[in-house]
Chain A
């Protein structure tokens, strides 16, 4: 009887100890020290475990570690160290990957620098197009062109939101037009909500226009099941005549998303150059020294589950001709006008 009591006491003690030792199951992740070595390790690991395109782009991140880690002892100053880390990130060839410090922003811009501009702001401000007396409704610059037959909107950033009232005024001003051009060249992106909103005016019914996934583990291909991205049809404002979307390589990120949506809009045609891509929804993290890193975290796909990271091809590929440009003519807008006639 006595031994039973002792045994019960022991068991009770074990349970009590187990309860109070439970925090050991909730260990906080180790933080690297704020040294060049520690910051290098922290950045390499963030990309290794959270960047979403390592496998898709066939990047051997381990060998990149080896190459850049060898260069680490030579990076004595903060600027040299920053350039080293920036160079390592540039291997990802991703416009959504940046390192932010107090003195610089690392970036990879070859996704548009290695391609023709296919856009000139001075061209669209010729009297033939926007001219000088165009109207502006919350970031939407608009005017009827081609003797009032075609509506033209230049939209330079999806960070500039607009209301239904804005778009209602813009579209009603084009009531006599047979078609509409939405120019999103050099639009580097912004909000996905605004991209969805602008696309919604051109859909007759709710349509699945893409998918998104996110990383679920440290493995390079550990992804969640795809979640559908639906473009809703706006309930009261709909443009049901033809619409042409003008694109170039600088149509990036949320603009890439807008073009992807408009690919499935009933009366829409994409004209110009391939978009710049930026299909990975970027996230932020930071290094022990306080530098922030932005990286693609959630890959986005088109309606056929094809990755949109490298851009979206236009329906009609048109480049800005130098001869036209010299004569004040935007070849891509002219091609759109021809298609709408």
Chain B
């Protein structure tokens, strides 16, 4: 009987020790946010049409952010994937444009904490941008592609408002391209000439604030509920660029909703999960 009590005591003690071990050890959390949006879209693509096409679409945005390391809680790394698709019409509604866009971005931000509940993040990001525009009724110029990579300046401002039962987080994020490379078709040259016959002249352009400008402010509110944090927001983006005597413009306004949550990843020999974490691998 004494032996049984001793064994139970040792087991209880070891469980406390392991729990305390997990409590004591620091882990880097990754904050992930997924949002869906409904967008109004406007396009000016003079390769396809001299008219502005406007319409609507849906978008999905995935962001993840974590600090650089356990010892550095001033610099964070951000990854973002953005997908958007929509249909826009010319002003007379006699032709439609199908649009699909994708963007991947990777960035780093320095966190300033000037006062309790306020964070200012300043940094830069690098992105890959792809867009596919199709005006189906066009002949020999039905499609145009947006291909670009940019170095952006980016910043965020966060303000936590403590209410009686929950703390809301207000966030304003802004990004603007500074330098990069972009593909722009030659006005008047068909994709047949550019790609089938290999006339690649004037397709590749260095971009800077002199020929490419854009801004995409996004205002969001994170609202914590019992078991989840929901994000609601408004987003706007405007991108304008010029090359080969063509001025392109893309603007959008979206209402977005999603969730944000923290995860921790365990992988490899050195980042193994504590014993009280149950994995499907076991």
Contacts and interface: CB of A to CB of B under 8 A. Distances in A.
A and B associate: yes
Interface residues of A, number: 40
Interface of B is mostly: loop
Contacts of B90: 286, 290
Contact of A281 (B135, B192, B210): B192
B209 A290 contact: no
Contact of B51 (A102, A216, A286): A286
A27 B249 CA distance: 10
Interface string B184-205: 0011111011001111010000
Interface string A27-39: 1110100100000
Contacts of A25: 210, 242
B141 A283 contact: yes
B197 A26 contact: no
Given A285-B49, A290-B95, A23 B139 contact: no
Contacts of B247: 26-29
A285 B189 contact: no
A290 B91 contact: yes
B92 interface: yes
A19 interface: yes
Contact of A22 (B135, B137, B198, B209): B209
Contacts, number: 107
B240 interface: yes
Contact of A291 (B93, B94, B193, B241): B94
A222 B104 CA distance: 39
Interface size class of B (residues with CB under 8 A): 35 or more
A290 B242 contact: no
Contact of B140 (A215, A227, A281): A281
Nearest to B249: A28
The interface centre, meaning the residue of A193, A291, A297 with most chain B CB atoms within 10 A of its CB, is A297
B200 to A, nearest CB: 10
Interface of B: 44, 46, 49-52, 90-95, 135, 137-142, 186-190, 192-193, 196-199, 201, 209-211, 213, 240-242, 247, 249
Given A22-B209, A25-B242, A283-B140, 8 more contacts: A42-B50, A192-B196, A230-B197, A282-B140, A286-B51, A286-B94, A290-B94, A292-B137
Among all A-B residue pairs, the 3 with the closest Cβ atoms? A290-B92, A290-B94, A284-B138
16 contacts: A22-B209, A22-B210, A25-B242, A26-B247, A27-B247, A34-B92, A102-B94, A212-B197, A228-B197, A229-B197, A230-B197, A284-B138, A286-B50, A288-B91, A291-B94, A292-B137
